[in-house]
Protein backbone atom coordinates (compact mmCIF):
# COMPACT_ATOMS: atom_id res chain seq x y z
CA UNK A 1 0.00 0.00 0.00
CA UNK A 2 1.29 3.44 -0.82
CA UNK A 3 -0.10 6.80 0.09
CA UNK A 4 0.53 10.30 -1.08
CA UNK A 5 0.60 13.66 0.61
CA UNK A 6 -3.14 14.24 0.14
CA UNK A 7 -4.04 11.28 2.36
CA UNK A 8 -1.53 12.35 5.02
CA UNK A 9 -2.93 15.91 5.02
CA UNK A 10 -6.47 14.52 5.32
CA UNK A 11 -5.56 12.42 8.36
CA UNK A 12 -3.49 14.73 10.58
CA UNK A 13 -3.43 18.49 11.16
CA UNK A 14 0.33 18.92 10.58
CA UNK A 15 1.37 20.99 7.57
CA UNK A 16 4.63 21.98 5.92
CA UNK A 17 7.08 23.14 7.04
CA UNK A 18 6.31 21.01 10.13
CA UNK A 19 5.17 17.85 8.38
CA UNK A 20 7.78 15.13 8.89
CA UNK A 21 6.16 12.25 6.96
CA UNK A 22 6.24 12.03 3.15
CA UNK A 23 4.63 8.67 2.53
CA UNK A 24 2.74 5.83 4.20
CA UNK A 25 4.49 2.65 3.10
CA UNK A 26 2.15 0.20 4.83
CA UNK A 27 -0.56 0.26 7.47
CA UNK A 28 -2.27 -2.41 9.54
CA UNK A 29 -4.64 -2.09 12.50
CA UNK A 30 -1.82 -1.72 15.04
CA UNK A 31 1.24 -0.92 12.94
CA UNK A 32 2.30 1.69 10.40
CA UNK A 33 5.42 2.17 8.30
CA UNK A 34 6.20 5.59 6.86
CA UNK A 35 9.14 7.37 5.30
CA UNK A 36 10.62 10.83 5.05
CA UNK A 37 13.31 12.15 2.74
CA UNK A 38 15.28 14.70 4.79
CA UNK A 39 15.74 17.73 2.54
CA UNK A 40 19.38 18.71 2.18
CA UNK A 41 18.48 22.41 2.01
CA UNK A 42 16.59 22.78 5.31
CA UNK A 43 17.43 26.11 6.94
CA UNK A 44 17.93 24.40 10.30
CA UNK A 45 21.13 22.76 9.03
CA UNK A 46 22.73 26.23 8.82
CA UNK A 47 22.64 26.40 12.62
CA UNK A 48 22.51 22.81 13.89
CA UNK A 49 26.15 21.77 13.75
CA UNK A 50 26.87 23.75 10.55
CA UNK A 51 30.29 22.09 10.05
CA UNK A 52 28.71 18.61 10.44
CA UNK A 53 24.95 19.06 9.86
CA UNK A 54 22.70 16.72 11.81
CA UNK A 55 18.95 16.32 11.90
CA UNK A 56 17.87 17.32 15.43
CA UNK A 57 16.76 14.37 17.54
CA UNK A 58 13.61 16.17 18.61
CA UNK A 59 12.51 16.40 14.96
CA UNK A 60 13.29 12.72 14.38
CA UNK A 61 11.04 11.96 17.36
CA UNK A 62 8.40 14.26 15.86
CA UNK A 63 8.45 12.17 12.66
CA UNK A 64 7.76 9.10 14.79
CA UNK A 65 4.98 10.90 16.68
CA UNK A 66 3.35 12.09 13.45
CA UNK A 67 3.46 8.53 12.13
CA UNK A 68 1.67 7.41 15.29
CA UNK A 69 -0.92 10.13 14.79
CA UNK A 70 -1.48 8.85 11.25
CA UNK A 71 -2.08 5.36 12.61
CA UNK A 72 -4.60 6.64 15.17
CA UNK A 73 -6.39 8.87 12.66
CA UNK A 74 -6.64 6.07 10.10
CA UNK A 75 -8.10 3.76 12.76
CA UNK A 76 -10.97 6.17 13.36
CA UNK A 77 -13.99 6.02 11.11
CA UNK A 78 -13.54 8.83 8.62
CA UNK A 79 -10.13 9.95 9.87
CA UNK A 80 -9.10 12.59 12.41
CA UNK A 81 -12.27 14.63 12.03
CA UNK A 82 -14.49 11.96 13.58
CA UNK A 83 -13.00 11.11 16.96
CA UNK A 84 -10.73 14.04 17.69
CA UNK A 85 -7.14 15.04 17.06
CA UNK A 86 -4.25 12.85 18.27
CA UNK A 87 -2.12 14.90 20.70
CA UNK A 88 1.16 13.75 22.24
CA UNK A 89 0.83 13.17 26.00
CA UNK A 90 3.88 11.12 27.02
CA UNK A 91 7.45 10.40 25.90
CA UNK A 92 9.53 7.61 27.46
CA UNK A 93 12.83 5.88 26.78
CA UNK A 94 14.01 7.97 23.84
CA UNK A 95 17.31 6.56 22.58
CA UNK A 96 19.46 8.07 19.85
CA UNK A 97 21.76 5.52 18.26
CA UNK A 98 22.79 6.93 14.89
CA UNK A 99 23.06 10.31 13.20
CA UNK A 100 20.71 11.42 10.42
CA UNK A 101 22.16 13.80 7.85
CA UNK A 102 20.83 16.10 5.13
CA UNK A 103 19.60 14.06 2.17
CA UNK A 104 19.03 10.84 4.15
CA UNK A 105 15.81 8.87 3.74
CA UNK A 106 14.40 7.64 7.04
CA UNK A 107 12.03 4.75 7.56
CA UNK A 108 9.66 4.89 10.52
CA UNK A 109 7.75 2.07 12.17
CA UNK A 110 5.16 2.63 14.92
CA UNK A 111 3.39 -0.15 16.76
CA UNK A 112 0.47 0.12 19.19
CA UNK A 113 1.34 -1.47 22.53
CA UNK A 114 -1.96 -0.77 24.29
CA UNK A 115 -5.10 1.30 23.92
CA UNK A 116 -6.87 2.54 27.06
CA UNK A 117 -9.94 4.70 26.40
CA UNK A 118 -8.80 7.66 24.29
CA UNK A 119 -5.10 6.98 25.04
CA UNK A 120 -2.88 5.05 22.64
CA UNK A 121 0.45 3.76 23.97
CA UNK A 122 2.95 3.16 21.17
CA UNK A 123 6.55 2.29 20.37
CA UNK A 124 8.39 3.85 17.48
CA UNK A 125 11.60 3.23 15.60
CA UNK A 126 13.28 5.41 13.00
CA UNK A 127 15.97 3.84 10.81
CA UNK A 128 18.39 5.24 8.26
CA UNK A 129 20.11 2.96 5.78
CA UNK A 130 18.41 -0.02 7.40
CA UNK A 131 19.99 0.73 10.80
CA UNK A 132 18.14 1.99 13.86
CA UNK A 133 18.74 5.68 14.58
CA UNK A 134 16.02 6.44 17.17
CA UNK A 135 13.68 4.44 19.37
CA UNK A 136 11.02 5.94 21.62
CA UNK A 137 7.92 4.92 23.55
CA UNK A 138 5.10 7.46 23.58
CA UNK A 139 1.41 8.02 24.10
CA UNK A 140 -1.17 10.07 22.26
CA UNK A 141 -4.67 10.95 23.39
CA UNK A 142 -7.57 11.98 21.22
CA UNK A 143 -8.84 15.44 22.08
CA UNK A 144 -11.76 17.31 20.58
CA UNK A 145 -10.73 19.75 17.86
CA UNK A 146 -12.11 22.76 19.76
CA UNK A 147 -10.13 21.67 22.85
CA UNK A 148 -6.85 21.40 20.93
CA UNK A 149 -7.40 24.78 19.22
CA UNK A 150 -8.22 26.46 22.54
CA UNK A 151 -4.87 25.46 24.02
CA UNK A 152 -2.81 27.37 21.47
Catalytic residue numbers read 48
Q: Which residues lie closer than 8 Å to 97 by C-beta, 6 or more apart?
A: 131, 132, 133, 134, 135
Nearest CA-CA partner of 111 in 67, 62, 57: 67
- Indicate the SS3 state at residue 143: strand
Neighbours of 33 (CB within 10 A): 19
Amino acid sequence: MTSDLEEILALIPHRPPFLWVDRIVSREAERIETEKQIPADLDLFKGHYPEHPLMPGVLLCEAIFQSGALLIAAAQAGGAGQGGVPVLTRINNAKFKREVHPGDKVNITVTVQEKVGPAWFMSGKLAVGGKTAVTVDFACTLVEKAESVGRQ
